[in-house]
Amino acid sequence: MPGEPRYVTVERIDSAPELDLPRRATVGSACFDLASAEAVALERGRVALVRTGIKVRCPEGTFLEVRPRSGLSVRGVLMVNAPGTIDRDFSGEVRVPLTYLLDGLYRIEVGDRIAQVRLVEDHPTRFRPGRVREAASRSGGFGSTGR
């Protein structure tokens, strides 16, 4: 059963167009869509830091995780640093690093959904030295469980 909502403060940047705040596309969506605040022509193999026109402040004990949109990936557009992290103490504009894998250009228009975000709990964590016992069958990594 879900608890009380956590609020992420969103500030629109003055020079950016008035876009919707991040929102879920459907009731069942796990993440909130981020829109582009600029028109961009993505070139094959080049990385563009696409503006969203917003700054965010997460609640204490949380951060935002930025994820690619599957609808863009089937068109050859990938988010380079995926998933990305927006730390609680980051105060700049949220930008999304996108690249295009196919020939020609891929055009992104103002308001196009370019990524998605979700709020993640940041559990207090410490690392300590010790001995790590090997798991019976999972020490290979990188596809060790098969295809």
- 20-75 pLDDT per residue, tens: 899 999 999 999 999 999 999 999 999 999 999 999 999 999 999 999 999 999 99
**Superfamily classification of domain 9-121:** Deoxyuridine triphosphatase (dUTPase) (2.70.40.10)
Q: What is the DSSP letter of 70?
A: H
> At residue 114, what is the residue type?
I
Of 25, 24, 22, nearest in space to 9 by CA: 22
Res 144: pLDDT: 58
Q: Where are the domains of the chain?
A: 9-121
Phi, psi torsion values for 36, nearest 5 degrees: -80, 135
Of 94, 97, 38, nearest in space to 63 by CA: 94
Res 16: pLDDT: 81
- 86-104 pLDDT per residue, tens: 999 999 999 999 999 999 9
Mean pLDDT confidence for 126-135: 88
Question: What CA–CA distances, in Å, run from 100 to 27, 31, 94?
Answer: 30, 23, 20
3 state SS of 75: coil
Of 61, 101, 97, 104, nearest in space to 82 by CA: 97
